[in-house]
Amino acid sequence: MLLTQSLINIRCRSCNTLLDFKFATGKISGKSSATDTGTESSIPTGNLGTSAVDKIPGSKTHSKGEPLDVEALGRSSWNLLHTISANYPDKPSNQQQSEMRQFLQLFSHIYPCSWCASDFEKYLKDHSPKLGSRDEFGRWMCEAHNEVNSKLNKETFDCNFWQKRWKDGWND
């Protein structure tokens, strides 16, 4: 599925896995290349083959890194979104609810993977964010994430555990 999508928008790194991006832009000739096993796309920096120890010129600390692919961007974004929901107030004011609604709307407009963004925007229209309390919002976010998990044929997450995963931890 991603390969078909990548042919529509092959220059969009954030819309494709690193492997599909490299394949579609001719950086590799086939998906079975010995050096491109697909494991790179699990590297959060979206590394395109540059050694992780390479530093940018003049810096002792900053690795070169590469732009994020669709998976690294997605992981980072879900980390942010779930952590935002975990820090949402138990009893939000009308203004806090309104600001969160606006944030989600804007997020769905500017998310750098275009088809991810348009599906998320549609999800927001069909499933209005539940913002009455932290638990409501955390569960809503969990269900939104599960919608994407299902679309990608990934296992869904049991939303009864959302607070343990994203707020309290498992050892309390």
Contact footprint for ligand FAD (CB under 6 A): 2, 70-71, 74-75, 77-78, 82, 111, 115-116, 119-120, 142, 145-146, 148-149, 152, 154, 157, 162, 165
Query: Nearest approach, Cβ of 122 to ligand FAD (angstroms)?
Result: 11
In the chain, DSSP finds a helix count (H) and a strand count (E) of 7, 0
Query: Nearest approach, Cβ of 86 to ligand FAD (angstroms)?
Result: 10
- Phi, psi (degrees; rounded to nearest 5) at 55: -105, 155
* Closest-approach residue to ligand FAD (CB): 74
Query: Nearest approach, Cβ of 148 to ligand FAD (angstroms)?
Result: 4
Q: How far from 39 is each of 45, 46, 153, 160, CA to CA, in Å? A: 12, 11, 19, 31
CA distance 113 to 104: 15
Query: Nearest approach, Cβ of 21 to ligand FAD (angstroms)?
Result: 12
Q: Judge whether 88 and 97 are in contact, CB under 8 Å.
A: no
Nearer Cβ to ligand FAD (97/108):
108
- Whose structure tokens read 């590469």? 66
Nearer Cβ to ligand FAD (64/167):
167
Nearer Cβ to ligand FAD (29/156):
156
3-state secondary structure of 109: helix
Nearer Cβ to ligand FAD (78/101):
78
